[in-house]
Amino acid sequence: MVNSKVSIALAGNPNCGKSTIFNSVTGARQHVGNYPGVTVEKREGSRRFKDKELLVVDLPGTYSLTAHSLDELVARNFIVQDKPDVIVDILDAGNLERNLYLAVQLLELERPLVLALNMADVAESLGIKIKEQVLSDRLGAPVIRTVGNRHTGIDELLAAAVKAAEEKTSKPFRIDYGPEVEAKITEVSALMAEKQHNLHFPQRWLAIKLLENDADIINSVKGLADGDKIITAVAAARQSLQAIFETEPELAIATLRYQFVSSVSQEVIVETSGGLLTTSDKIDRVLTNRILGLPIFLALMWLLFNTVYTLGAYPQEWIENGVTALGSYIGASMPDGDLKSLIVDGIIGGVGGVISFVPNILLLFMGIALLEGTGYMARAAFIMDRVMRAVGLHGKSFIPMLIGFGCSVPAVMGTRTLENPRDRFVTILVAPLMSCSARLPVYTLLIAAFFSTEVAGTVLFSIYLVGICLAIIMARIFRSVLFTGESEPFVMELPPYRIPTLQSILMHMWERAMLYLKKAGTIIMAVSIIVWFLVNYPSDVNYSKDYAELTAQAEAGFSQQVEAEITKPLNIGTIEENEALNTLIADMTAINEEFDQQAEELEEGSQELAALTAAKETKLQELEAANTELFPLASRYLELKAESEEQVTVLKEEEAGEKLAQSYAGQVGHVIEPVLRPLGWDWRVGIGLISAFTAKEVLISTMGTVYNIGDADEGSVALQKALAADGSLTPLSAYALMVFVLIYSPCMVVLAVVKRETNSWKWAVFSSVYSTALAWFMAFLIYQVGSLLGY
């Protein structure tokens, strides 16, 4: 039976259009993961083509297979060890000579190969014509002309790939490296054949890599029996070649390979442009201008940032409302108890917080996909390189750090654009120091409680400035201590500007959203359950008061007053027995509720609030005029009801505060209080900081519970007054608290993403520990120095 499955590996340089070809071939039938043991992304997709089921693997974009980087090593090992049926090498027709260097290295691996001459239309617009048949004859591999974003040539490419896979062998390909190098290749090849090794690489290719001093291959050979003898013989051969060429053998071999590529390029490329400026060159004269480049870049980033968090606010609110409605529905359908609390507060509340970020993730990566797809992102890194290099980072590091002002989750995910692992890890560690939007409600609450409106803006700006300065300082420290080494030169291809396809943008957004939900969401659910448990247990709390009895007394007192002042004078048993009074109470309640709803967002003393208040009074006066006898009784009933409800609410809040204080989280708060005292805080702030590990905004609702305010947000006047009246908090300690919230451990979502991006819990834990230690030190410095200065 003929095998109906064909595996295809897509290889190519960065910006060659490989991802566009991949999306064109596979459509939505693809998924993203990591190669085993490494953090390099692995994209796989499937496609039915005629009678074949195609499995397409998108290899990391790379310029060569010399294994100087993780991407190169992964691509090379996948081709040799996983043995795809055929390799499709995507060539950028407009930069053919540079792309051919990877192509000849792939041919040297002696695997079936098909060359896709991509973006041929762009090359022709630049005045570049390519003799496809001559190129095919010179390299011994089929060459197919494609235009990925128009789906041109895709079927022909797949047909050629299937045919090459069925033939199972590649035409012989060999670069003549000259008599001196060829003699050493033959010598080392014979030695390797004699040892009958179990390495899966082609014999000649192994010899070339050993002569090129390839670290990965050398380590593999050392593990063989008599491997040291082989390495010794290779070292002698390398010394001989170095004496002949007066340079390192790997440089000499690379030069000879480039000479071969150059000779092929001269045969197949015909240029008719005559050195005219391209459209991309003309655009770059403005966008990469030494004076205009930086302001334009900052304006585009500002636009992206505001678009993400302005447009994303609407669907985010819809999702939050949906999650709240779901929680309310399930809560109403279940009996009170721990299971209900776990599902509604722990699972739905925790996971719902994650889902609400998805619109921001989608919009952010849509913007990034647009910038990358057009070719501008490479220019942005080029523009910012000089600034970032001053603090030991790469030009590309600026983009994820800027994104961090919105949310640290996409900021950490955005570090994938950094090829250098040192630059990537440093950026991951300092990106959370950028003050994300989740911290803003905390700042708003504390500033309103402790600082006047005249200095509020300055205080808020200073917090953001502290984060920026600390990020710069810590980046320099990490680069000098943990991630030492010479800074790599900034080398990046500036691809021509092009219009990205809608499919590629949508696929990019979909991939990121799914990764976010699958990986981070599972961890968040687990941690949410743990936090819920810490806040709700132990359940057998020794209360200082009998809250159930006090609540019953308050409700009984309300009933007695209603009976004495309203129902008895009217000769009725209940309010409902007097239809006119019952209707009047309902009308007055509706007027008050409508007013409260409309006035919620209005500022005190504003003209809108005054007009709304006047309209409310007018409606009440009309009701009074129509119901002169019953109106005073209805008003009194609503007063008594409000007083009773307030009494019950205060009792419930006191009960919740006591329960929280005696919970495991409260006990931890008391345990860590000695650590917090030098910063000017007590155990209540400690509970808030512990709960805010899930998300920084949670600090507000936790403090509302601790201070017996109940549900509270940054605009809660009652919570502001409670904080201001608390003798343990002062403007100085409140400022120290804001700085602590800015710096200390990233929230659990960010840590989950750090773990995923670094493929290790070690760096997630380190990020949490170092930032918390730094936060304590900064808060201690602010509070103690400020106290000495008399603030």
pLDDT the model gives residue 34: 47
- Widest pairwise Cα distance in the chain: 120
User: DSSP strand E in 245-357: where?
Assistant: 269-271
Strands 269-271 and 52-58: unpaired
**Look-up: residue for tokens 């009801």?**
641
Could you please report the per-residue DSSP string of 546-572? Answer: -HHHHHHHHHHHHHHHHIIIIITTTT-
Q: Which residues pair with 87 in a beta bridge?
A: 9, 113
CB 343 within 8 A of CB 334: yes
CA 585/CA 591 separation, integer angstroms: 10
Q: Locate 532 and state its tokens.
A: 């819920």
Q: Is 401 exposed, middle or buried (0-12, 13-18, 19+ CB in 10 A)?
A: buried
Q: Which of 93, 127, 102, 129 is nearest to 17 (CA)?
A: 93
**Three-state SS at 144:** strand
The number of angstroms, rounded, from the C-alpha of 320 to the middle of its chain's C-alpha atoms is 20
Strands 41-49 and 30-34: antiparallel
Could you please report the per-residue DSSP string of 29-93? Answer: -EEEEE-TTS-SEEEEEEEEETTEEEEEEEPPP-S-SS-SSHHHHHHHHIIIII--SEEEEEEEG
Identify residue 290 by its one-letter amino acid code: R
Strands 86-92 and 113-118: parallel
Q: Locate 405 and state its tokens.
A: 């002002």
CA 375/CA 369 separation, integer angstroms: 10
Q: Locate 791 and state its tokens.
A: 């603030």
pLDDT the model gives residue 38: 46
pLDDT the model gives residue 706: 62
CA 433/CA 492 separation, integer angstroms: 27
CA 771/CA 747 separation, integer angstroms: 11
Residue 297: how many other CB atoms lie within 10 Å: 22
CB 470 within 8 A of CB 779: no
**Three-state SS at 126:** coil
Q: Locate 438 and state its tokens.
A: 């989740």
Domains (range + CATH), the chain: 5-167 (3.40.50.300), 179-271 (1.10.287.1770), 294-437+456-483+503-514 (no CATH), 523-539+659-788 (no CATH), 547-656 (no CATH)
CA 650/CA 710 separation, integer angstroms: 9
Peptide bond into 538 cis (omega under 30): yes
CA 71/CA 33 separation, integer angstroms: 14
Strands 52-58 and 5-12: parallel
Give pLDDT < 50 ranges for the chain: 1, 34-39, 710-715
